[in-house]
Amino acid sequence: MKKTLFIILLAALLNACAAPTTVPSATVPETMTPSATVSPSELTVTSIPDVALTATPTKAVSETPAVLVDSIPSELSFSYESPVMTENVLGKVPFSVEVATDDSLSPRIKSISINETFRNKDGQNSNEAWTTFVAMLMYKSSSFDGTFEQYIDALNVARQSNSPADWEKVASRIVKLNDMATSDYDPKPTMLLPMSDVDFSDAGYRSFDKVVVVYTLTSSVDNITTFPNVSGNPGFGANLDGKTLYLYVGLATDGAFGTVNQTTIQTASLGAWLRTGVVRSENKELQSILYRGNENGAITIVK
């Protein structure tokens, strides 16, 4: 009896020792499969453009030194410079504009200055007329499908949202924009964002927050496109210096543009030149913003 009990206990002990060999080998690869099934995060990828495009402008605005606004290109020397005219175009989007005269026009022309008593056909004073004129230049240079009023509405939306899609709708295509940070005059087709503090340079877009219209002697500056075979030897330049856009209106001193009417016609021709790079008389819409008739315009010429 005791011998039989001993044999039974010994058999049970041997079975218990053999049990671990039944552990399934499949449990090892199951613990390794997660690393092979991890997928990329779509949220991380799609959020990069928005963060990059909306976060950097804030730094650019706060860190941009005042000298970019207050200084002028070294090739210019102003005999006249108007105060900055800032008006909300159609009561919605602020445009900041200056008008300046380069002393290269002396002694034939002492200054081309703001006419403080001007009122255009819509009753706008000089400040309102000049800011509307610049806004209209940007509108006519854009591919926006709608009226000027609708364009200003869309521009207002873009300024508030800072969405790349909204800005793309109102971007102006300037055929010959020169970056004054480069040493040579090298104008290129550039997409430009009006009155914007965002940085889309990585996507090929530039922006400005002020425009200076400069009247200069065509032959005295380098950053200008000249047309020597055109009557009056006109010249135009669109030069971006930091966040300031300088629009050059090159005149001759032979009297070809010695009147307010003639000078306004050439100023309005900026519209066609910015879009096409070609000199031609612009339509009456741009001229009528700055000119009322009988030498009554948004500028005054002192000789």
Assess if residue 90 is contained within a domain. Answer: yes
Q: Is 45 helix (H, G, I), strand (E, B) or coil?
A: helix
**Residues paired with 86 in a beta bridge:** 96
- DSSP label at residue 209: S
Assess if residue 59 is contained within a domain. Answer: no
Assess if residue 58 is contained within a domain. Answer: no
Do 58 and 94 contact (CB within 8 A), yes or no? Answer: no
Assess if residue 60 is contained within a domain. Answer: no
Rg (CA), the chain: 34
Q: What is the pTM of this model?
A: 0.77
Give the integer Cα–Cα distance in Å for 257 and 239. 22
From the list 77, 195, 55, 92, the residue with the least C-alpha distance to 134 is: 195
Assess if residue 258 is contained within a domain. Answer: yes
CB neighbour list of residue 118: distance below 8 Å, 6 or more residues apart: 125, 126, 129, 292, 296, 297, 298
* Domain count for the chain: 1
Q: Dihedral sign, CA of 297, 97, 275, 227?
A: positive
Assess if residue 44 is contained within a domain. Answer: no
Give the integer Cα–Cα distance in Å for 267 and 261. 10
Assess if residue 43 is contained within a domain. Answer: no
| pLDDT tens, per residue, the chain with 303 residues | 444 444 444 444 444 444 443 333 333 233 322 333 223 232 222 221 332 333 232 222 223 222 233 568 999 999 999 999 999 999 999 999 999 999 999 988 999 999 999 999 999 999 999 999 999 999 999 999 999 999 999 999 999 999 999 999 999 999 999 999 998 999 999 999 999 988 888 888 999 999 999 999 999 999 999 998 887 788 999 999 999 999 999 998 655 567 999 899 999 999 999 999 988 766 789 999 999 999 999 999 998
* Residues spanned by the domain of 272: 78-302
Assess if residue 6 is contained within a domain. Answer: no
